[in-house]
Every structure is written in C-alpha cells, then in structure tokens.
Chains A and B, each alone.
Chain A
Amino acid sequence: MKFTDEFRDTELILRTSDEIRRLADPKRHYRMMEVCGGHTHAIYRFGLNDLLPPNIELVHGPGCPVCVLPMGRIDDGLAIAAEKDVIFTAFGDMMRVPGTHGSPLEHKARGADVRIVYSPADALKIARANPSRHVMFFAIGFETTAPSTALTLMRAKAEGIRNFSVFCNHVTIIPAIRAILDSPDMRIDAFIGPGHVSTVIGCRVYEWIARNEGKPIVVSGFEPLDVLQSVVMILRQMERGEAKVENQYRRVVPWEGNRAALKVMADVFTLRSYFEWRGMGFISQSALALSDSYADWDAERLFNVPGIRVTDPKAAQCGEVLKGVLKPQQCKLFGSECTPENPVGALMVSSEGACAAYYQYEHRKSQLVSIPA
C-alpha cells in the first residue's frame, strides 16, 4: 500500500534502529516526549520501544483530545442528548468515554439517540434528513479537526440549516506544550512534535520551544520509520548541542501550515480565555468557542447545560500520566479497576490514549523475561 509500506520497510527500520544505537551516548539518559496520541499508538502498535536502546525513554504527551477533556464537559454534552428530539453525534472515540452517569454508549442503550459520525459533515447530513429534530455535534480535537468543524458550520449557515448545532470542545496544542514545559515535574530533553496538528498550524509556531527552552523538536509522521527517523534527528541535534525545529513529516506538513484552514478557523471560532484540561487544570487561551456570528449554531448558548466541574476519581492518576510524570502502568488503578472494558479515565478509552495503547499492546509483555525469536 502506497505511503504506508515504504515507511514500514524492514531493512530501513533495522538500519535506522542501528543508527539510533550508534548516536545515543550510553552515558546519558534521554527523555523524549511524543506529543501526539497518534504517536503513542504507533509506538506501541509497532513495538518501537523494542527497537530503542534502554537509555532512550519515550514519554507520551497531552495530544489525545479525548483524554484531555474533563468529565464535566461530557456530562454537559450528555445533558443535551437527554433533551427532547435531540440527536447526539460524535466521533467513535467519544462513545465509550465515561461521564458521571455513564458513557454516550450507555446513554444510547438507555434510549438516547446517540450516533457515531466520521466527520462533522455527516452530522449535518443527519440534520438535513431529520428536519423535525435537532442534531448536535460534540466537537473534539486539536487544530487537526477544528477546520472541518468550521467548514461544516459555514455550510450550515450558508444553507440556513437551523436544526444543527456544535458543542465545541476544540483545544489548541501550543498552550498545552507550554503548560508541560512550565510544570515543575518536567524533565523532557526533546519533543517528537505533533504530525497532523502541524499540517494545519505548520512548524514555525514551535520555534520558541527551541529558542527559549533549548529543546529540539522534530515534527514527525506516524509510521515506524517516521518515528525512528525523528529520534535520529533529535539525537543528531543533541550530539551537536543544537536545539531547533525540524520537519520530518515533510510529505504532509508544510512549514507555514495550511493558510486556508487557519482562515476558516479564525472566521468561525474565538479563543476562550481559559479552558479546563483533565489532569492539567485550567490553561489560559487553550481552547476554541464559536464566535458570536455563529451563536445560533452554538449548543452551549442554545441549551442549558449543567456546566459543573467534575473532579476525576481520586485514585485515578490521569493527570500525571497526561503530563508524562507517570507511565500508564504506574497508576494505581491501571489494569485492575481501570481497563479498556471498564475505563475509569479517558486515557483508557481512546485508541490514542496512553493507557489504552499500553494496555492493548504492551501490558503483559513486561511479564516476559525474553521473547524467543
């Protein structure tokens, strides 16, 4: 398969893995944060940790949009789902994320009209087909998915579709990275930078990380070779004592980003002064809301939502895992009270969540002394 198989080539992967071993200084320990949940998933799915020397530690970051959403927002969305004649639509990732009184899927089993869509445009299609009902799209995601939400809203407005609204939970990546860097627990040497987010926001926006913080950042793709090559690029920078932004994912990410996408976002959204992130607390200017010109499509203004802050279960350490302070398996609930089947925290739900990825692909491997070839 084109654009996939080339980046899973055994020969090249082994060569790159050898190069990493050559470049890594055995006397030092490297902590590299992969910002995206997509990277976390790829690292576990392709067993990439097995290809790295033990002194290179990959630390997962906050880039899983489902994971960083606090429970109160899910409760708010589900309160709208409970209103008469409302169809709740969301990406499949959201469906099993627990709210205070169960996940969207559990609300569906109890009778709410909850539907999976693969794009906000599909939610709008449902609205067109059901003019007597109200279709609410529960929007999540970083800058990766925000433009498609924006375009859908522009179309709804242009067509005058009034039985459609968006409950906006879009967040932005830069303030989250800044929060990580400001955290006193932070001991990160370099970043494997977000891939899909960067297709929209470009690479220039990361320059302060290199310049002010002195940390290398390499925007990376999601195939095994992409991630390994990014590690090589980081090691080369560190070897030379440099810190700069590099773009490993050039086949997809333009250095300046996608101007058209940024423009529609600017037209439709406005920056919230602050937004709560699961486990990381309130981060200023870190999320998007619908601008006043889209007030008629803004579910937060159309419906009365409880808007109550719900704290995570005490024993769950989602925040520490999200910040990379703890590994998934170091959480007290991991694998016992919190499993993909009965998730306590969202990190155990989304395929991009560090806990789910670790549980699915890595858990129990650690029990093995060695894996016979």
Chain B
Amino acid sequence: MHDMATALPASKPKTIRFRDPQIEMAHGAGGKASRRLIEGLFAPILCGLSSEPLNDAATISINGATIAITADSFVVSPLSFPGGSIGELAVNGTVNDLAVSGARAEALVVTYVLEAGLPTEILEAEVRAMGRAASAAGVAIAGGDTKVVEHGKADKMYITTAGVGRPIPGVQLSARSARPGDVILISGPIGDHGITILLARGELDLEADICSDTRPVIGLVEALAAAAAPGLRWMRDPTRGGVATTLNEFARDCGLGVCLFEDRIPVHDAVRGACELLGLDPLHIANEGQFLAVVAPEYADAALEALQRAPGGQHACRIGEVREQPARSVLASTPYGGTRIVDMLVGDPLPRIC
C-alpha cells in the first residue's frame, strides 16, 4: 500500500516536511515513517496539495470513463515460502489494492529487476507463479519490462506490478463517510503472512504449521458489494504494519475512533504462539490475503453473511466498531473490561515482508 501511484492524488492539507536525514528500513515498513515519507516528500512534490486521504489506488478519468490505477513493488526475502512466492504476491498485491479501492483489476504490467547470476530455474518458477495467480484472479498481464543489475547490487529479484481496474458498480468508498456505530469486519485470521515469512527465513529455530495467506480478495469484495454496497464505507488490506496500522490510518482519515474487541479478532494458534514467544502483536503483523471493511450498522449482518458464504470467507468476523471517541485513535477492549491504545507500527520488526 501507499506506493507512488497510490500517493499521487492524495496528500493532507497541512504541510509536513520530511526531515529525516537518511532513508532507514522503517521508511519502507508501512508504519509511521512510511507515512511521513509519502506525506512529507512524495506527495507535496509530485501531487501538490489536495485534501484527499491516502488510498491504496487512485481513480482517474479518461474520456469520461473512470478507472482505478495502482502499483506495488515486491522485495520479499526469501523468494518462496509456505503458501506462496514473490510472483504470486506481486499479482495478488496489486489485484487486492485495486479490490479494496472498489475496483476489479483488468490488466497488469510487470517489471523485473534481476540480479546477474540468478538461476533461470528460479526466474521461470516465479514467472509461472505469476501466470497462475493472474488466471486465478481473472486479470490479464498486458506487458512489462526487465532490467538486470550486477551481481551483488540486488538480492536475486525484485518485481513491480502496476494495474488498472474497473470500478465495481454502486461502491463509493471514503473514510470520511464513516459514522459512529459503523461496524468493522475482517475477512479472516490475521498475521499468517508475516509470521510465515519470519519463520521461513530460518533464523529462529522455530517451526510451525502455517502458510502465507496470499490470495486475491476480489471475489470476497464482490460478494460483499453485492450484498451491502450502499452501506459499504471503506475497505483496506492490512499489509505491512498490519491491522493496527491500517485502522489507525482509517481513524486519522475519518477523524473518529475505532474500538476493537480483542477477543473477537481471529488469529491462528500458531501465529499467536509465535507472537507470544517473540513479543510481537498480531495486530502489527502483515497480511496478504485479508481485508478490513467498514459497514453501516444496518448492513452489517448482510455484509458478514455474504462474506462468510463466499469461498474463502468462512472465518470472516466482526471485530470492532467506529465510535466518536477516542478520536483519531484505535482502542482495544478486553472482555474483562481492560482497554489499551493500539498504535501504528513503529520501526520495522520484519523487513522485506512483501
């Protein structure tokens, strides 16, 4: 999320200057530092000032037709991991950024940055993975570009995909349309992707039966839209920075508060266990096949039912609601009456996750 394309039409009215003296890993982690970089450097220079919040895709109008456009880069290490690989991520990531912006991906273009010495076998496997993922998501790969850099100047391969999409009829998304009482839904269990990558790196001597959740969510988004489009206010896929960061951005953009019911957030036991051991919060862990939706209360039951009935949506659930307070913040409440503030991700516990 928050790639160049997504940043283009969007910046905040108040000027933030980017003062960090050098780029650190945290600027790519999707948390506070990333946001500062986009709002303080990219957006003011490239887009001028507008009052639109940052979104996962931009919408532009060409000859009266509205299209959604976005781009995403993938630098994950290792290249393949249980449940997926960089090629699959590169397709699903862009398809999902369009989906949660209310658009069905129609075509992608792809660029490869390859390190000299990369075995053809690995490249071919990733190209095939992209082909399979594209047909699963129903999107065409329309073109691309390839660059090769000297051995040691890149880590095996990086992929960038850009995509255009057709808006799903009847869907109008904006954080600012949210109202107190709106319901927050999640499409399934959180944290699988981030923990899978962490374990796949093999640095931890931890093993768990767990897979990345990478998948296209467009089918779920369309099912949701069919059942509840008029009540659908906002969607986002909680990738880097996790649910906590994504909901904090939402809270900031709508000026309202988010209250999460801690015991209702679906997390696989293996992910919980790894997080407990490593001192991580599942709410900060990246996902690649889930999305959050904010739905008007009168549509909440229909929306949840539609998600749960759609293939891959059986674990969808209601995890929180929008409230007046705490404005621009996210609060988690425990079933026994304790509460805590859920902040955005600070720093980068897990670099190169996607």
**Chain A residues proximal to chain B, CB less than 8 Å:** 1, 4, 10, 13-14, 17, 44-51, 92, 95-96, 105-106, 109-110, 118, 122, 224, 340-341, 351, 359-365, 367-368, 371-372
Contact = CB atoms under 8 A, between A and B. Distances in A.
19 contacts: A4-B272, A10-B263, A45-B340, A47-B333, A47-B337, A47-B339, A48-B338, A50-B339, A51-B336, A51-B338, A96-B347, A105-B347, A118-B278, A224-B336, A340-B343, A351-B279, A363-B341, A364-B341, A371-B331
A251 to B, nearest CB: 15
Nearest to A4: B276
* Interface-centre pick from A45, A47, A49 (highest chain B CB count, 10 A): A47
Nearest to B263: A10
A316 B295 CA distance: 45
A247 B33 CA distance: 43
Given A110-B22, A371-B331, A361 B325 contact: no
B14 to A, nearest CB: 18
A50 B341 contact: no
Given A51-B337, A105-B24, 17 more contacts: A1-B276, A13-B336, A46-B340, A47-B334, A47-B338, A47-B340, A50-B338, A95-B347, A110-B22, A224-B334, A224-B338, A341-B32, A351-B279, A362-B341, A365-B326, A365-B339, A371-B331
Nearest to A348: B346
B347 A46 contact: no
A1 B279 contact: no
Given A47-B339, A359-B343, A109 B22 contact: yes
Contacts of B273: 1
A252 B283 CA distance: 28
A145 to B, nearest CB: 14
A50 B335 CA distance: 12
Nearest to A358: B341
Nearest to B24: A109
Main secondary structure of the interface of A (DSSP, over half): helix
B23 A109 contact: yes
Main secondary structure of the interface of B (DSSP, over half): loop
A13 B336 CA distance: 7
Contacts of B346: 340-341
B269 A1 contact: yes
* Interface-centre pick from A48, A105, A361 (highest chain B CB count, 10 A): A361
A275 B263 CA distance: 44
B65 interface: no
Interface in B303-354: 323, 325-326, 329, 331, 333-341, 343, 346-347, 349
A229 B148 CA distance: 62
A36 B33 CA distance: 30
Interface string B18-40: 00001111000000110000000
Contacts of A224: 334, 336, 338
Contacts of B341: 360-365
Contacts of A341: 32-33, 346-347
A363 B330 CA distance: 11
A50 B331 CA distance: 13
Nearest to B279: A351
A106 B329 CA distance: 29
A364 B33 contact: no
B150 interface: no
B43 to A, nearest CB: 19
B204 interface: yes
Contacts of B23: 109
B24 A122 contact: no
B24 A371 contact: no
A1 B346 CA distance: 27
A46 B276 CA distance: 13
B209 interface: no
B203 interface: yes
Contacts of B347: 95-96, 105, 340-341
B326 A367 contact: yes
A224 B340 CA distance: 13
A10 B323 contact: no
Contacts of A4: 272, 276
A44 B340 contact: yes
Nearest to B257: A368
Contacts of A10: 263, 334-336
The 7 closest A-B pairs by CB, nearest first: A47-B338, A361-B340, A13-B336, A340-B346, A10-B335, A47-B339, A10-B336
Contacts of A122: 203
A28 B307 CA distance: 54
Contacts of A1: 269, 272-273, 276
B267 to A, nearest CB: 10
A367 B331 CA distance: 12
A363 B349 CA distance: 22
Contacts of B349: 92
Nearest to B276: A4
Contacts of B203: 118, 122
Interface in B128-148: none
A372 B33 CA distance: 32
Contacts of A50: 337-339
Contacts of A51: 336-338
Given A47-B334, A50-B338, A109-B22, A372 B323 contact: yes
Contact of A106 (B24, B269, B334, B338): B24
A371 B336 contact: no
Contacts of B22: 106, 109-110
Given A46-B334, A105-B25, A371 B279 contact: no
Contacts of A109: 22-25
* Interface-centre pick from B32, B204, B326, B334 (highest chain A CB count, 10 A): B334
Contacts of A49: 338
A364 to B, nearest CB: 5
B297 to A, nearest CB: 15
Interface string B252-274: 00000000000100000100110
A365 B257 CA distance: 11
A224 B33 CA distance: 32
A51 B338 CA distance: 7
Contacts of B323: 372
A118 B198 CA distance: 12
B32 A371 contact: no
